[in-house]
A = this chain, B = another copy of it.
Amino acid sequence: MRSPHDTIETTPGAEPTIELWYEVASPYSYLSVMRAEALAAAAGRRLVWRVFLLGPIFEAQLGSSDSPFNRNPVRGRYMWRDVERQCAKYGLPFRPPSRFPRASVLAARIAMLGEDEPWGGSFARAVLAANFAEDRDISRPEVVREILEQVALPADALIARAGEAPTKQQLRARTQDAAARDIFGAPTFFVDGEMFWGDDRLEDALAWPRRDA
């Protein structure tokens, strides 16, 4: 689970971080994207956003890019009920999306462009909420444009940048990086090189160094 990136993150004296690897179309990523920033701040860790695409991961590991929740409908039905309960527990709005999963490439590219910008968290939360609390079709460029305008961002410029070759290549490389780290689902967290999978492990991830100390 080590990489040059981890080595930098764990340099003594470096700012403590938690990486949140998420997919815009993933229901449990919605929970973590909405919860992580406040919890990370309370734990004294800076949240590092890492958006990626699950489709290529599922394709390589399972032989199909479709969601495992669709491939096993019994598990899928339970998942929607579970997400509804978890949202109620955390006080998050929830409406089951009328289409799942929604194509997330455009929204993911823009989220990636914002990861080191002050607006990154706001855009990520707005996109996931659009998908899982408002049933808006985030696969459509006009909906992505509305979301960008909603959080007061220059929609035309960002949508144009999202379509440029370097942006496309960066998201491909990001997803390859996710695979190289043995990510198999979303959300996934990294704290000091330790990997945690699932919204249920967010608190454990943030408590990790303290327990380890």
Contacts and interface: CB of A to CB of B under 8 A. Distances in A.
Nearest to A81: B195
Contacts of A211: 89
A75 B197 CA distance: 10
A140 interface: no
A207 B134 CA distance: 29
A78 B184 contact: yes
Nearest to A60: B74
Interface in A33-48: none
B89 A75 contact: no
A182 B78 contact: yes
A176 to B, nearest CB: 14
A72 interface: yes
Nearest to A76: B184
B78 A197 contact: yes
Contact of A75 (B61, B74, B85): B61
A132 to B, nearest CB: 20
A187 interface: no
A59 interface: no
Nearest to A201: B82
Given A61-B75, A75-B185, 8 more contacts: A61-B72, A62-B72, A72-B184, A74-B184, A78-B182, A78-B195, A82-B201, A200-B200
Interface of A: 61-62, 71-72, 74-75, 77-78, 81-82, 85, 89, 182, 184-185, 195-198, 200-201, 204, 211
